[in-house]
Structure 1
Amino acid sequence: MGTSGPGSNDLKTAEEPACITSIVDTVAKTVPKLRTAFETHRSYEGEANPSGEEMLAADVYADELLESRLGKLACVGTYASEERADPVSIGSGLSVAVDPLDGSSNLSSNNGVGTIVGVYDGGLPASGRDLIGAMYVLYGPTTTAMVATRDGVTEYLLTQGEREVLTPSVSLPETGTVYGFGGPVPEWSGAFRRYSMSVQRRLKRRYGGALVADVNQVLSHGGVFAYPRLETRPSGKLRLQFEANPIAFIVEQAGGLSYQGERSVLDTEPERLHQRTPLFVGSPEPLAELIETLGGATTDPTVTTRESPWD
């Protein structure tokens, strides 16, 4: 359990689904303004976020807009963002950790970008096991949202601030057809290179440099996404609170697996808000092979229940 922010220990369990619905609806209603900002906020701000990455005006705009909208919800007690050094304490309630504009560097080339939201029942930084909901929005040819709760995963079409069910119960196949691996190949470990060579023989490469878009390929077709530790990034590249935990939660609730080199991503001990981690997620069979190749724990690739296969 994290220590920053008020947390939500006093929030009744019965109120949690209603709060997640409010958060999802609020993000959906914010999407039209966010899409407009892609056209008008494309310049760099000249400032770096807490992870040392230069921010686009669109990053700042999306962060401020989501903080304003989500901060008005009575059930939200803490707002934290990849673009801010510290969480914002709003009151008493759940904690939301947001990557306002995932893959924002893709705006200049008009490629896929997204928004990621994790809803934690606890102060931040928090364990992935404290997640009660997570979602991402993909701004593609159409705008879609993948929403996960402890009951499963639903895909929505977002149109003019409203959402319509596209896939009522998203479920990953055992194997799948696509893979996407991040980071410079020369910086991969020898074990991960061996795994990559094996995967390339039977799966199609799909990698665009935006986490949401790349993971959405895996959730749509099955397969594996990986951003391993690198020689220059031994702790990994992706942020645990804002990216890895929510994505791992979504994938595991869809019947897939997550891994960070030792265990499920959701079992990673949270030490700081902007902590980084390697991330491997996907269908049970290719993830089981990856875990075996990297010399980690083994798991039964036939597990398809909504409960974590790591428990």
Structure 2
Amino acid sequence: MSSPPTIYDVATEAGVSIATVSRALNSPGKVGERTRRRVLAAVDALGFTPRPDAVAKARRGAGRIGVIAPHTSYPSVARRLNGILQAVGSRSLEVVLYDQESAAESPAPLLASLPITGRLDGLIVVSLPLDATVADRLIGLGPPAVLLDMRHPGFDSVHTDDVAGGRLAAAHLMERGHRRCGFLGEAQRSDRYLSPSRLRLDGYRAALAEAGHDLGEDDVRLVRHRARDALAAARDLLSREERPSAVFAADDTLAAGVLRAARDLGLAVPGDVAVIGFDDGELAEVMDLTTVRQPLEESGHAAMERLIQRLARQATPRDVALELRLTVRATT
């Protein structure tokens, strides 16, 4: 039996010194991007496991699960993580978190460079789009991966239908008599994929068009996922002479910007402008916001349970679709 690869083997494979390999793995900010990628490629190719990780894992006798997600950017992700941890329960599993800033960026930089082989037994990818290169890398490296809040051929996935969610919002507003509607969403940073915000807009726009109510480009505002950007865009949208009588925001955080803008402009909600969000987290409850409810904790729990099944060699990929529903409150 051949001995496991060492840091010396990685250095030889990458054509760098042992010190450079150490810095690339432990202090990546101190190594140039091209060099870091060479080291990571060598790690993947050799299946190298850094010795401290291997020792710690042996002592624990535990599996290590990576969860890569925009943890710090979206409240909905924290609730999905709660579901993941609930599913782990008392099982002998260690959950390692990797933070990717935005769900509106593709390819996801962390997924393109994460040294997976030997360090992780499984991976859950939350709300981050995969391009073909990243998908091929995950498949080639071997640890089972489950996608949460997205889909990609060849992977297990747990998701909701964002297009259907946009249609649900449009139907509710039209039932309330609204004919001139607006949309506030998150801007995509690439055209190589469709973000949840874009899919929700597509469903919303299609449902309105089918009823004879076009959603023009002037009725749409796309911003970075920041409260101040949402507020500025909502003020601009609601200050127009022919302003919309209702606004669908792609999530509850963006909807909060619309509510603040309406208050600043002296507009009554829902008398002058109705507002609907997406997610149905604690923020929606506090704001008494009508919103499209996602089963957030349930989705995290389902993703972790599916990954545990994959670790037990139940290998047929499955696609699990969870239902959305409307939570009606005071803003519509």
Normalising by structure 1, we get a TM-score of: 0.31
* Structure with the larger helix share: 2
* Structure with the larger strand share: 1
Q: Over alpha carbons, which structure has the higher Rg? A: 2
